[in-house]
Structure 1
Amino acid sequence: MNRLNSACYVFLFLSLFSFNGYAQAVQKDTLDNKSFDELKKIFYYHKDLGEIKVGKEIALYTLSKARSLGNKKAIVNSFIRLCRVSYDDLDLALKYTDSCILYATEYEFEKLLAEGHFYRGIVLYELGKYGNALEAYLKANEYYKKQKNEMYYSLRYNIGLLKLKVRYHAEAIEIFKENLKFEKGKDVNSKSYLDLLYGLSIAYASNKMLDSAYEINKIGYQKSLKLNDQSHLYFTYAQGALHYARKEYKAAKDSMLKAVPYLMREKDYPNLAIIYYYLGTIAKNEEIKIEYFKKVDSIFGVKKYIIPKPRKAYEGLIDYYKKKGDLKKQLYYTERLMIIDTVINKEHRNVTHTFQHEYDTPRLVEDKRLLIQELNKKNTDFKYGIYILLIFLVLVISLLIAIYRKKRINEKRFREVLKSLESTPKIKQVGQSNREKRKSVVDENTLNHILEGLDEFEKNKAFLTPKLTLSSFAKELNTNTKYLSIVINDYKSQTFRNYINNLRIEYIIGKLYNDQVLRNYTISAIASEAGFSSTESFTRAFTKKTGLNVSYYMKKIK
């Protein structure tokens, strides 16, 4: 219990802190004497009426009461209820399921743990994380497959929806048909029954069984009219999709346009994306076609949601702007398509893999293991493949470690450069502090003359003169190259070329740090500003002096 308190304390505090204003809807003192069963009935009464805010406040009240009384089962149930009234904030709903699973695991409530995974799967599905949603459903299935109750068929329905997502249409049909047999013993005008009819209609259509889809869709439309909640417009949309499949484009357009306002109110972005794609493909005017395709992109831009069918809208956008010669937009939609394919491949690959190996054919998983085992005995190529893969992984990991170390080294060197800028003058007059460094073969008068010349040289930034040579510098100081070279070696501990390059690099480092305008120059222009005659010699000198490349330094100081 202590572990749970420490893990969930902050989240629980924030959740319970939001319990305010409840007295505006239901008098708090009317709940104080209610049992947990009665609180459950009150919660579902308001939830079923669509009074989500009231339902959330009742659930928070129940959680508070359960915690104060130490009622473990009521605590877990409260988190499930909070999830069910938080679908407007999916991230929050996911946190509630996490808390439910955490507590149910600790208290060993098998049924409530299964419920937690079930509702977690629903939230993950709405977030477009199909692989994770399926994993949650499969965990719940381990419990519900023994019961075959209403929750079992709800779970089967959700798995059927995932089947549709990854184009296992025939298997989705079987799930929906099985669930319909169960639902027929109940209210055939219920929302869950209509959802099954709608799912079966879509599954038939996806499996090219258009006549069957039409008959089921007709039944669903007629029954949904009795609910008087406009849900019949889902069947109107499905009818439009059937017209589209039959190439009856005018009828398809009419049906789908009727459904658009309702789907927008329901925030059903996946079906809106499909409708916009269909409307785009059948539009005769190319500009209208592109506007519909852009609406598909706008849905992905806001919701990061896409499925395989409407992704083709991006191919249309790319072709359109290719014909227009608009390279910028062509590149933009090409990059968007690459992102989308990554999302689709990741999620659909995860779901497909899980269906094949964990849910539908567990026996085949074992068969596959035995087959690989047998092949390993007969085929050494498999072993070589494993070895190569391991070597590859080692190389990749080594590369990542090297990159990480390089990054750390660069950051350390950058900090050292900044520290040197803050702790030293902008012009480092090295000669003044080293005049007594050691005896020289150069006579004292000449030595002092050269050292004074070097001081003036540094103060006046004469080192910025392009194409400066030892010979030209010696002439300027009225000495010879031999003496000048000896003094620089003895008192600057550098060759003439390194001495000049280091002065230039120290100068340009400080200049870049303080001059924002200079940072926008090209590297070639910066090299020229520092007195270098070529970009290559500048970048070599910069790296040698600082251990960093120029572009990295400029990026960091920006």
Structure 2
Amino acid sequence: MFFSVYSGISKYLLSYVLISVFLVIKSYGQEPQISVPDSIQNKTVDELISLIKSSSSDHSFTFETALENSQNPDINLAKIYSEIGYYFYKKEASERSISYLNKAIEIAKKTEQDEILCKAYLRQGNSYLQDWKNQKALDAYHKVLEMAQKKGDLRNEIVAKSNIAIVLRRMNQLDKALKDCNELLRYVDKTSFKNGKNHVNILTIISEVYLDLQKFDSVLKYADKGIKISESLDYEIGIADLYIKKGIVFYQRKNYDQALEFLYKAEDILTRLKFNERSNQSINVNYFLASYFFENKNYDKAIEYLLQTIHALENNDLRKNRVIETHILLAKSYKEIGDIDASVFWFTKHQELQDQFQQEKDETVNKIYDQSTRKLDSKIKRLENKQQEDQKYRNYIFGAFLIVFFGMIILVVTYFRKQKANKTIFDDLIKKISDLESKKDIEEIEIKDATKEITIDDEKINEVLKGLDKIEQQEYFLSLDCNLRSIAKKVKTNATYLSKIINTYKGKSFNDYINDLRIEYVLQKLKNDRKFRSFSIKSIASEIGYKSDNSFTKHFKAKTGINPSYYIKNIEKLNRQSQDI
């Protein structure tokens, strides 16, 4: 009997243990359940939205859970999360904005709410743009553009393209940005955007592109047009932004009185609107006012404006171009008042930010190139499909003939326009090469004023620069083994220090520095060496240090605007003409 009782107890304990283990394992496979108090669960949707907006990111999860558990049949979570994301975007809380917009996108995809999805992608792109995450912003805007073009939605197409132009301008793809902006201005007349805030925003973007191109008359033309529209709308931030553009133009022209007039006007508007000191507008005003005081040797006042910007910054702001320039100007200002330690500190900070920006820029430019390639592949695919469809309608020979005929006319016109553009580029190249050859030192590279005045270990820097000059004279950059580490070894320094010196004193990244040397060399070599011109593109690429002809062609076209084959063909033609004479 004792044995039977013991056996019964053992079975009971074994069952209890197995059930407990099962429950523990099951609990690990489930997400933790958030207990929502009735006092919160009974709140209205509007009240929950207000609580989310006013709470920190750590305390908002309970309100989100209550919102998602709401029994209100009319609730549209995708739309609500999109609006919350937009709210935090306006507060410049980009990380929280993006987290809610991601929720909106996920829900809108599942529920097939295309209109909300498009708006959420657009707002996501704006938040990434605000955070200077340019590559992610570009991805979001291209999704908006794809959806807009598919639906024939011209309004969203204009908005997407205008924001893409901002990214292109940040990546120094100025020709592409300018082309897109001019196209947008033609589109605006067909929409309700005309003479509205979006029209002003496009004019602001195109004035920024012209500013980077140093075409100051065009900046003033579009800025004045934008100011006029903004004044009719009482669009004060638009007015302030364009005042800043005009102030920069007059500063660059050294007309300091007018520059100060517009910069102070912009500063007054930003102060009245209580605009965030982290905003691009505030950073630009502070930078150029500081630049003015620096030029007039009022270094303490310059430092005051620059530190005002830096103290307001957050980590996400350090990607901005003007913030990087703020650091170098601060270093120069401290150097002028004799505070070398502070100068070195801010110069080092500038170099770190510059390296980080260059890396992110290269990644984004590659993304732009890949997207352009995919777009071309898509066009080719559509053309192939069209040709296949045309085969089904062989009876419409006359119609097909007309299509081919007009298509040929377009191709011929396009071809001759392209040839004319290439000829202009080619003539400019020949003139530049001739100018270079007439100089005693053709390899001299202009050093930017912004970094030229900072000196750290001058003797070591001079040794490295002399080493680089020697390497350029020996044409080591043509070697396949030429890389950052090998050159660093030759000039007796480390790769990191060499990279910073090249950034500072050559005004470009290491890769750009080597590519520029190679392309300048090959331009002159092809011009002057007939035998070299007879080589294949692949052989020429190998001769000047490239591992593939594709890489050589890509860098040659990026530098000159034409293909190497076109350049060689026209050099031969030019030589034949000179011989005939």
Q: Could you state the TM-score of these two structures normalised by the residue count of structure 2?
A: 0.50
Q: 1:289 to 1:360 in 2, by over 3 A?
A: farther
2:59 paired residue number: none
Q: Which amino acid in 1 is paired with 2:250?
A: H
2:195 counterpart of 1:189: yes
Distance in 1 (alpha carbons) for counterparts of 2:359 and 2:40: 38
2:263 counterpart of 1:259: no
1:81 paired residue number: 83
2:214 paired residue number: 208
Q: Which amino acid in 2 is paired with 1:314?
A: H
Residue 256 of structure 1 and its aligned partner are, at CA, apart by: 0.7
2:174 counterpart of 1:169: yes
Distance in 2 (alpha carbons) for counterparts of 1:19 and 1:179: 49
Distance in 2 (alpha carbons) for counterparts of 1:230 and 1:126: 20
Residue 251 of structure 1 and its aligned partner are, at CA, apart by: 0.7
Q: Which amino acid in 1 is paired with 2:102?
A: D
Distance in 2 (alpha carbons) for counterparts of 1:182 and 1:77: 28
Residue 159 of structure 1 and its aligned partner are, at CA, apart by: 0.8
Structure having the higher Rg: 1
Tell me whether 335-344 or 299-308 shows the greater mean CA deviation.
Answer: 299-308
What pairs up with 1:100-499 in 2 under 5 angstroms?
100-110=104-114, 112-149=116-153, 150-185=155-190, 186-231=192-237, 232-264=239-271, 265-267=274-276, 269-283=279-293, 284=296, 285-300=298-313, 304-322=317-335, 326-359=339-372, 362-363=375-376
Distance in 1 (alpha carbons) for counterparts of 2:366 and 2:313: 25
Distance in 2 (alpha carbons) for counterparts of 1:177 and 1:356: 21
8 A contact 2:317–2:323 mirrored in 1: no
8 A contact 1:239–1:255 mirrored in 2: yes
Distance in 1 (alpha carbons) for counterparts of 2:219 and 2:335: 38
2:98 counterpart of 1:94: yes
Q: 1:361 to 1:282 in 2, by over 3 A?
A: farther
Tell me whether 176-185 or 119-128 shows the greater mean CA deviation.
Answer: 176-185
Tell me the secondary structure at the aligned position of residue 138 of structure 1.
helix
Render the CA deviation track for 1:116-138: whole Å, top value 9, x for unaligned.
33221111111222222112222
2:67 counterpart of 1:68: no
Tell me whether 209-218 or 135-144 shows the greater mean CA deviation.
Answer: 135-144
Residue 99 of structure 1 and its aligned partner are, at CA, apart by: 0.9
Q: 1:356 to 1:247 in 2, by over 3 A?
A: farther
Tell me the secondary structure at the aligned position of residue 150 of structure 2.
coil
Q: 1:300 to 1:8 in 2, by over 3 A?
A: farther
Q: 1:106 to 1:8 in 2, by over 3 A?
A: farther
Distance in 1 (alpha carbons) for counterparts of 2:160 and 2:234: 27
Q: Which amino acid in 1 is paired with 2:308?
A: K
Question: How many pairs align?
Answer: 337
8 A contact 1:170–1:207 mirrored in 2: no
Distance in 1 (alpha carbons) for counterparts of 2:203 and 2:42: 39
Residue 259 of structure 1 and its aligned partner are, at CA, apart by: 0.5
Distance in 2 (alpha carbons) for counterparts of 1:7 and 1:220: 53
Tell me the secondary structure at the aligned position of residue 226 of structure 1.
helix
Distance in 1 (alpha carbons) for counterparts of 2:299 and 2:42: 53
Q: 1:295 to 1:339 in 2, by over 3 A?
A: farther
Distance in 2 (alpha carbons) for counterparts of 1:323 and 1:19: 64
Unpaired segments of 5 or more residues in structure 1? Answer: 1-5, 29-42, 44-51, 54-59, 368-382, 386-558
Distance in 1 (alpha carbons) for counterparts of 2:353 and 2:299: 23
Q: Which amino acid in 1 is paired with 2:216?
A: L
Distance in 1 (alpha carbons) for counterparts of 2:110 and 2:198: 33
Render the CA deviation track for 1:8-50: whole Å, top value 9, x for unaligned.
986x979x959968889xxx9xxxxxxxxxxxxxx9xxxxxxx
Render the CA deviation track for 1:83-103: whole Å, top value 9, x for unaligned.
223322332221211112222
Residue 242 of structure 1 and its aligned partner are, at CA, apart by: 1.9
Tell me whether 337-346 or 223-232 shows the greater mean CA deviation.
Answer: 337-346
Tell me the secondary structure at the aligned position of residue 98 of structure 1.
helix
1:507 paired residue number: none
Residue 139 of structure 1 and its aligned partner are, at CA, apart by: 3.1
Residue 309 of structure 1 and its aligned partner are, at CA, apart by: 4.2
Distance in 2 (alpha carbons) for counterparts of 1:210 and 1:189: 23
Distance in 1 (alpha carbons) for counterparts of 2:283 and 2:370: 31
Q: Which amino acid in 2 is paired with 1:142?
A: E
Distance in 2 (alpha carbons) for counterparts of 1:75 and 1:243: 49
Q: Could you state the TM-score of these two structures normalised by the residue count of structure 1?
A: 0.51
Q: Which amino acid in 1 is paired with 2:345?
A: Y
Q: 1:332 to 1:219 in 2, by over 3 A?
A: same
8 A contact 2:299–2:337 mirrored in 1: no
8 A contact 2:197–2:235 mirrored in 1: no
Q: Which amino acid in 1 is paired with 2:96?
A: L
Distance in 2 (alpha carbons) for counterparts of 1:8 and 1:190: 49
Q: 1:151 to 1:366 in 2, by over 3 A?
A: closer
Tell me whether 161-170 or 107-116 shows the greater mean CA deviation.
Answer: 107-116
Q: 1:366 to 1:229 in 2, by over 3 A?
A: closer
* RMSD (Å) for aligned C-alpha atoms: 4.4
Tell me the secondary structure at the aligned position of residue 221 of structure 2.
helix
Render the CA deviation track for 1:523-558: whole Å, top value 9, x for unaligned.
xxxxxxxxxxxxxxxxxxxxxxxxxxxxxxxxxxxx
Render the CA deviation track for 1:279-319: whole Å, top value 9, x for unaligned.
22222122222323333433445763343345233223334
2:447 paired residue number: none
Distance in 2 (alpha carbons) for counterparts of 1:198 and 1:68: 46
Q: 1:139 to 1:154 in 2, by over 3 A?
A: same
Q: Which amino acid in 1 is paired with 2:194?
A: V
Distance in 1 (alpha carbons) for counterparts of 2:287 and 2:379: 42
Residue 243 of structure 1 and its aligned partner are, at CA, apart by: 1.3
Q: 1:354 to 1:315 in 2, by over 3 A?
A: same
Residue 247 of structure 1 and its aligned partner are, at CA, apart by: 2.3
Distance in 1 (alpha carbons) for counterparts of 2:41 and 2:170: 37
Q: Which amino acid in 1 is paired with 2:305?
A: Y
Distance in 2 (alpha carbons) for counterparts of 1:65 and 1:330: 53
8 A contact 1:111–1:143 mirrored in 2: no
Tell me the secondary structure at the aligned position of residue 189 of structure 1.
coil
Distance in 1 (alpha carbons) for counterparts of 2:175 and 2:373: 13
2:555 paired residue number: none
Tell me the secondary structure at the aligned position of residue 234 of structure 2.
coil
Tell me the secondary structure at the aligned position of residue 305 of structure 1.
helix
